[in-house]
């Protein structure tokens, strides 16, 4: 039985994955001043340019429960639906998706639909989507798929590195005075998604090369077996940096496969240019 996979604008994916998988993406809302967009409406280069030029960061908001309901309603009732939602630690998207699910079930109580809080974002959602597609292709029944993905979510490690502090200062997440000191000292932030899916600073490292080395070395602290695992990496408007770091990761660890993609508007707003996100399953 075909299973419909649905994600939201908090996930980022390689182009071939979007083309290969039968997935539906429900966009988030994005606002630059008085200008409103849906994620995906503005090409990324235009977004990056506006992000750099704007004195204020764009505001984002979740799709409404009705947005989710309308998409769910259009899916063939014979197809179970699995929704992989942006972490609840960053957004109300998950809660709204659950409300959209409940609206559908009020009308059609026999529908099979599950909404999962991925506790990750960007390349982490791509990693989980890849896992879900692989599992579906093995012919696993829907309830077993849901249980498997719940287990995989708890095993997902998501790590971030920021090349610049401009956006965290501009967005008020870092005090301007402390930010100026950190910039003067060339401090780089290493961040991670915690057990609840909220983003927290894990380390502060001085220097670009040293911080990238630490970013890569961290992987070995979460997992020691790589041969059956996939590493997923997204970059914010710096493909060269992204490729170099991914190659360094693959040189150090024998991951089975890799996913590489550009970061979308939501996480780019937080990460800033040159920011990277990696995701993989821990032991």
Average pLDDT over residues 236-263: 96
176: domain CATH number?
Answer: 3.30.1180.10
CB proximity list for 242: less than 8 A, separation 6 or greater: 233, 234, 235, 260, 276
Q: Please check whether residues 141 and 25 belong to one and the same domain.
A: yes
Q: Which domain holds residue 225?
A: 156-281
Same-domain check for residues 201 and 94: no
Residues 165 and 142 reside in one and the same domain: no
Do 183 and 202 share a domain, yes or no?
A: yes
Domain termination site, one of 138, 154, 170: 154
pLDDT at 52: 80
Contact status, residue 10 vs residue 28, Cβ threshold 8 Å: yes
Report whether pLDDT(185) > 80.
no
Residues 36, 143: one domain? yes
Rounded distance, CA 224 to CA 217, Å? 12
Strand ranges for 9-56 from DSSP E: 23-26, 29-32, 35-38
Task: Check whether residue 148 and residue 178 sit in a common domain.
Answer: no
Give the residue from 154, 189, 224 where a domain finishes.
154
Query: pLDDT (tens digit, 9 = 90+) per residue, 98-118?
Result: 999 999 999 999 999 999 999
- The pLDDT score that the predictor gives to residue 67 is 97
Q: Mark whether 184 and 269 lie in a shared domain.
A: yes
> 17-27 pLDDT, tens per residue?
877 888 899 99
Q: pLDDT, tens digit, for every residue of 127-138?
A: 999 999 999 999
Close Cβ partners of 226 (under 8 Å, ≥ 6 residues apart): 253, 254, 255, 256
Domain count, the chain: 2
Are 180 and 64 in a shared domain? Answer: no
Alpha-carbon Rg for the chain in angstroms = 19
Residues 78 and 172 in one domain: no
Same domain? For 115 and 172 the reply is: no
Of 154, 189, 207, the residue at which a domain comes to its end is: 154
- Three-state secondary structure string covering 137-173: HCCCCHHHHHHHHHHHHHHEEEEEEECCCHHHHHCCC
Give the mean pLDDT of the chain.
Answer: 90
Q: What is the pLDDT of residue 168?
A: 63
From the CB of residue 71, how many other CB atoms can be counted at a distance below 10 Å? 21
pLDDT at 169 over 60: no
- The answer to whether residues 117 and 161 belong to one domain is no
What pLDDT digit, counting tens, does each position of 37-95 carry? 888 888 888 888 888 887 778 888 999 999 999 999 999 999 999 999 999 998 999 99
Of residues 70 and 224, the one with the higher pLDDT is 70
Neighbours of 196 (CB within 10 A): 11
User: What pLDDT shows up at residue 269?
Assistant: 85
Q: What is the pLDDT of residue 276?
A: 96
**Total-model pTM:** 0.93
The confidence score (pLDDT) of residue 29 equals: 92
**Residue 134 belongs to a domain with what CATH number?**
3.40.50.10170
């Amino acid at each position: 039985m075909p299973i419909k996979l649905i994600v939201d604008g908090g996930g980022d994916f390689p182009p071939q994955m979007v083309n290969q998988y039968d997935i539906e993406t429900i966009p988030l809302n994005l606002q630059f001043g008085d200008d409103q967009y849906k994620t995906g409406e503005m090409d990324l280069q235009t977004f990056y340019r506006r992000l750099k030029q704007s004195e204020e960061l764009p505001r984002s908001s979740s799709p409404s429960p009705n947005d989710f309901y309308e998409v769910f309603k259009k899916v063939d009732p014979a197809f179970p639906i699995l929704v992989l939602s942006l972490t609840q630690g960053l957004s109300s998207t998950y809660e709204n998706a659950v409300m959209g699910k409940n609206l559908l079930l009020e009308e059609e109580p026999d529908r099979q639909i599950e909404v999962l809080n991925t506790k990750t974002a960007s390349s982490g959602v791509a990693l989980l989507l890849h896992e879900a597609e692989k599992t579906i292709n093995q012919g696993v029944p829907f309830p077993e798929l849901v249980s498997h993905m719940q287990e995989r979510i708890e095993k997902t490690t998501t790590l971030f590195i920021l090349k610049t502090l401009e956006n965290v200062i501009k967005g008020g997440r870092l005090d301007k005075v402390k930010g100026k000191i950190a910039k003067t000292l060339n401090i780089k932030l290493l961040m991670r998604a915690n057990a609840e899916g909220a983003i927290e600073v894990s380390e502060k490292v001085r220097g670009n090369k040293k911080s990238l080395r630490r970013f890569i070395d961290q992987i070995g602290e979460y997992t020691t077996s790589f041969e059956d695992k996939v590493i997923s990496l997204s970059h914010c408007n710096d493909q060269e940096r992204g490729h170099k770091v991914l190659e360094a990761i693959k040189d150090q660890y024998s991951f089975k496969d890799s996913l590489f993609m550009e970061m979308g508007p939501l996480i780019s707003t937080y990460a800033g240019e040159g920011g990277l996100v990696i995701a993989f399953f821990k032991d």
